[in-house]
Amino acid sequence: MSDENVFDMNKNSSNKDIKRYTKIGITILGFIVLVFLIISSMFVVKEGEYKVVRQFGEVIRYEKDPGLKFRVPILHSVTTLPNKKIVYDVTEKEINTLDKKRMIIDNYAVWEITDPAAMIANARTEINAESRMGEFIFSVIRSELGAMNYDEIINEEGSTRGDLNSRVTKRVNDLLSRDNYGIQVDDVRIKRTDLPDENEQSVFQRMISERESKAQEYLSQGEAEKNRIIAQTDRDVKEMLSKANAEAEEIRAQGETEAAKIYNNSFKQDEDFYQLYRTLESYKKTIDGETTIILPQGSPYTDLLLGYFE
């Protein structure tokens, strides 16, 4: 029998195995690709963020509600942007005041993205958006403070600037809205206003001199008020003493009058006793430890001293 007519069973079986394994491999590969495509089509939106879906660089939609979302793999790309308040520390810069003083202004802004599509289209990135916002803030602050004198800026009591922060915030938002950057500034605050180092010392000395002058003015006013109070108190004391002395004199006069009445009544009741009393009272005034008295015999004093009574 010819070899050409012999059927090779082993070769036929090997071909079948290769086809079967190839089919299984293709199936597994297809499954893997399918899983990859499904996973690639999904993305998660977290709390406090936007997911911006772009196709060939153009924004087609954005998601802001937290949860699982879908896109077309490969065709669509996803960019993440913050959906919350952001604090931007603006770089400090130097400005000139109305009275030609140089000042260093340091401020910050609180802002947020309100339209992610507009922000991506016009600012491209968050960094670019902050950069443009910082330029607008500095421009507005320079314009506002450039119309004021240095003393008005640093002196809150005598300042005519009013609510500067609110005015700056409004003007910056107007500029951002004009250029459609899709962001909004909620608040602009000036943290610090300093002088350049070369001017700082001279201004400090002037401020010290002004404060010392003001302190001296307060001291002078206090001294004048003290003298006024002392003078008024002295007048009040003199009036009170004068009134008290007058009342005392009046009471003393009344007492002397009453005493005189008592003396008179006593004299009328017993003239001898009253005479004796008056004589003894005169002894108190005329006789002391060094007094020498020479009395003639038979005088009333002698009789009283010797105990001679009629």
Residue pair 134/205 in contact by the 8 Å Cβ criterion: no
Exposed (0-12), middle (13-18) or buried (19+): which is 31, by Cβ within 10 Å? exposed
Taking only the tens place, the pLDDT of each residue in 136-158 is 999 999 998 888 887 777 765 44
Instruction: List the chain domain ranges.
Output: 19-81, 86-194
- What is the model's pLDDT at position 7? 45
For the entire predicted model, the pTM comes to 0.54
Residues in the chain predicted with pLDDT less than 70, given as ranges, are: 1-14, 155-162, 196-203, 288-289, 291, 293, 295, 298, 300-302, 304-310
- What is the model's pLDDT at position 1? 46
- What is the model's pLDDT at position 76? 86
Q: Which of 39, 40, 37, 17 is nearest to 29 (CA)?
A: 37
- What is the model's pLDDT at position 11? 54
The whole-angstrom separation of Cα 297 and Cα 308 is 11
Residue pair 44/67 in contact by the 8 Å Cβ criterion: yes
The whole-angstrom separation of Cα 153 and Cα 164 is 10
**307, two tokens:** 């105990």
The whole-angstrom separation of Cα 195 and Cα 96 is 11
- What is the model's pLDDT at position 266? 72
- What is the model's pLDDT at position 305? 66
**Does CATH place domain 86-194 in 3.30.479.30?**
yes
The whole-angstrom separation of Cα 199 and Cα 196 is 6
- What is the model's pLDDT at position 175? 94
Taking only the tens place, the pLDDT of each residue in 186-233 is 999 888 877 766 666 666 777 788 888 889 999 999 999 999 999 999
